[in-house]
Amino acid sequence: MSTNLVVIEQDKLLEMINTAVQQATAHIRHQNELPPLLTRKQFMEVAGIGESKCAELFNRRDFPVMREFGHPRVPTELLFEWINRNTDWVKEFAPEFGQKFKVI
């Protein structure tokens, strides 16, 4: 059995690791950069949706929208929890995900 040895310079290895970490954590950084309450416009921008889909979601009983501030606001943390609970892939392949983990 032969083994191939790969030699990588330390600086190149650190660069590769940093790139991988940045790519893997990009969505977390994005979540942390959002305000605690999203306006309708901010929500549509984050979700990549238009007015009609936004109105549809805002009228769902299970969607986390607040109207107590005069204009609808979406609590960012609750939005990501709602997304996790309502993602088809999670429902099919990892139903325990919503029970064991919390979006922070």
pLDDT, one tens digit per residue, over 11-58 is 888 888 888 777 766 656 666 789 999 999 999 999 999 999 999 999
Tell me the β-bridge partners of 66: 73
pLDDT at 85 over 50: yes
Higher pLDDT, 89 or 82: 82
Tokens at residue 62, please? 């299970």
Q: What is the structure's pLDDT at 45?
A: 94
Please state the separation of Cα 2 from the chain's center in Å. Answer: 44
Q: Which residue has the tokens 């309502």?
A: 86
HSE toward the beta carbon, residue 99, CA cutoff 13 A: 4
**Percent of the chain predicted with pLDDT > 90:** 44
